[in-house]
Each structure stands twice: as structure tokens, then as C-alpha cells.
Amino acid sequence: MLWCPPLLLSALCWVLFIYQTSVTADECAERCDLYHGHCDEDGVCRCDPGWDGPFCEDCVKMPGCVHGVCHQPWQCMCLSDWAGKFCDKDLHICERSNPCQNGAECVITPEGDYSCNCPESFHGKNCELKRGPCEIEGFPCQNGGTCQDNGGYAETFTCRCLAGYVGRLCETDVDDCLMRPCANGATCIDGVNRFSCECPHGFQGRFCTVNIDDCAGQPCHNGGRCYDRVGDYECYCPGGFTGKSCEILVPRPTWEYETGTSPLDRVPSVPPTRTVSSTRGTVGSTEKPGHFKISVKEVVTQREHGLSKLQLITIAVLGVITVLVIILTVLLVVRHRNRGASCWCQRSSPDTKTHYHQCQGTSQEHKKTTEL
């Protein structure tokens, strides 16, 4: 075995490649149909659209052509015994396999197709259908129902109704509200094989069974607690607020009460920053700063916010005692002033001696009264 250096092998490979390329290019130029294609740089015959084959010698038939050939691209020229646009019509179908049924006559049309001359009471492409009760009655089924007569061989027809209809001719719409599917007093509206529920206020859902959460929007204000009701909500308000949604601020009472160990220990107290004065309501009356009126409505309001009957009786008794003390004090003051006035009158009399004894007696009597 002779040893060949790598450089010599490389040169030999290049010579063989160049020779093969030249042979391939010469063969392509000789055999490729240059009217329907061309040779590329690698010596391969590239075909124009509509042509096929190793050297572009075959035309491309019309797509779908079954029993046909072409001389130019996209042709479909039928072979013998075949016709039609795609050469798929057998001109001898009536002799080879008669497709017509029930004694019908098979005829080839000029277009290459066949037709069947059906006997009486039969119809269809191959006379396979019998003129039965459905066709005689004019297909009487209503509302999309299908007429069935066993291919025309049944004595009478039947109607296969769509869902939601009943009756011999499918003429009756089924009342889907008959079973009263809607709950909570909802109104049922019948449809074709369906129904819908018109829900009352406060309910939703297909059957109006879902109670709407009226507290979802947080209608209660000022920290009120919301409780859902049927079509409504109820707010439990904290102290100092009232109203449907706890939106009304309750006015502060005119007086406050000090809580004791028993109801009798609850004594009314007047705030030190206010002076209570009773004023008679006149048309043009005005109130001075620091004074306010106590109306009957305000007293009733205070009664509703915590004053019991026993407390009112206690206040009334204390008021009567206070009035009696004031009256007694006034009487004593008036009596004292009357005695002082009598002594003054006696001093102004002409009899000085008599005046002295009377004033001295009055002074001694007043001194005794004071000591007592």
C-alpha cells in the first residue's frame, strides 16, 4: 500500500469535484427544457410555474382532475368514457352499476352526469324516497318539528318536536312556569323551553333565591353596626346618634345628672358655664348672652333620655321646698324693714322724750329677738 501525503490527496479531491461539476452542468444544459426552466449554478434544472419533472418536461394538471391529462399547465382533458369538469363522471355508469332504485330509468345527461326517471310515488336523486304521508300532507309539523313517516312507507306521519313544544303537530308551547320555579314571590315569564324570573326588590339570581346584601355598601355612619334585612337594612347606632343610617347627631341635654347609688341620689346639676334663667316667650323678646330657655319640648326630651318618674317627683319636692324658703325669707326681711321704718317716724316727732322711750323700747325688743 502506497502512502500518499495529505497535500496530494487534497489536490486530487479538488480535481474530482471540478470534473463532476463540469459534467453535471453540461448534462443539465443538454437535457433541461430551457423553454420551461433553467439551470442554476449547481447544474440543477429549475422549473417554471406550471411545469414539473427532473428536466421540466411534465405539465401540471388542474387541481382535482381525476381521469384527465394536460398538454399545457392547469388543463384537465378527460380520458375515454369519462366526462365532467374534473373528468370524474362515468359515461357508462348506467350499464356498469345502475344507481336508480325502485325500477327507475337511468339516463346520461349531456354534462356527463346521470338522472333517474322515478315511477309514481317515488322521488329523490336515485328514486329512493317514497311519497308518503308527510309529503302528501305538506309536511304539517310546526315550530321546527320534523315529520317522520318511515321513508314514506308508514301509514301515518308523526312529528318529532323541538324541546319546549308538544302536541300532534308540535303546536303547543310547554308552560315552563307550571312548576313555579321562581321563589320569594317573583314573577315567572314563560319562554320557548325556558323561563325567566322577575325578582322582587331585595332578591336576585336565576330563581330569585339570593338575598341581596344591603349592608355591602356600608350605609351605616358614625360607627353604626349594619344588619341585613329583606330588601332593607337596619342600623344599630352608638350613643349620641340616631336616624336610619345613624346620620343624626342627638343634641346634648340641657342639664346633666350625677349618678348615685340609687335613683333618689341622682341630683340635677347645672353646668357652671351656663346661667339658667326662665324667660317668658314673647314675640319680640331677645336672649342675653349666657342665658337660655328651658322649653316643654326640651324637658320632654330630657325625660325620654333618662329621667324617671321618681326623679321628677324628687325635683318637684325640692322645688317646692326652695320656693317656701324663699317666701319665708322675704317675709322676715319685710317685717324687719317695717320695724325700722316705725322707729324712724317716731324720731321725727316733736316730743323728744316720748321719742327716746319708744326707740329705746324698740331697740331693746329687737335686741331680745336677736339674742333669741
Domain regions of the chain by residue span:
132-173, 175-212, 225-278+290-314, 340-372
Q: What is the pLDDT of residues 331-372, one digit of tens each?
A: 999 988 887 665 554 554 444 444 444 444 444 544 444 444
- The CB density around residue 75, as the number of other CB atoms within 10 Å, is 15
Q: Tell me phi and psi for residue 66, to 5 degrees.
A: -95, -60
175-212 to CATH, choices 2.10.25.10, 3.20.20.70, 1.20.140.10, 1.10.760.10: 2.10.25.10
- Most confident of the following: 109-123, 201-215, 278-292: 201-215
CATH number for the segment(s) 132-173: 2.10.25.10
Q: What is the pLDDT of residues 212-256, one digit of tens each?
A: 999 988 999 999 999 998 889 999 999 889 999 999 998 876 655
Q: 58 and 75 in contact (C-beta within 8 Å)?
A: no
Q: What is the pLDDT of residues 41-53, one digit of tens each?
A: 888 899 999 999 8
Band (pLDDT 50/70/90 cuts) for residue 274 is: very low
Beta strand 275-276 with 291-292: parallel, antiparallel or unpaired?
Answer: parallel
232 exposure class (CB count in 10 Å sphere: 0-12, 13-18, 19+): exposed
Judge whether 132-173 and 175-212 match in fold.
Answer: yes
Beta-bridge partners for 105: 117
Q: What is the CA radius of gyration of the chain?
A: 62
CA atoms within 13 A on the CB side of 31: 12
Average per-residue pLDDT in the chain? 77
- Higher pLDDT: 346 or 74? It is 74
Band (pLDDT 50/70/90 cuts) for residue 260 is: very low
What pLDDT, on the 0 to 100 scale, is given for residue 341? 60
Q: 82 and 88 in contact (C-beta within 8 Å)?
A: yes
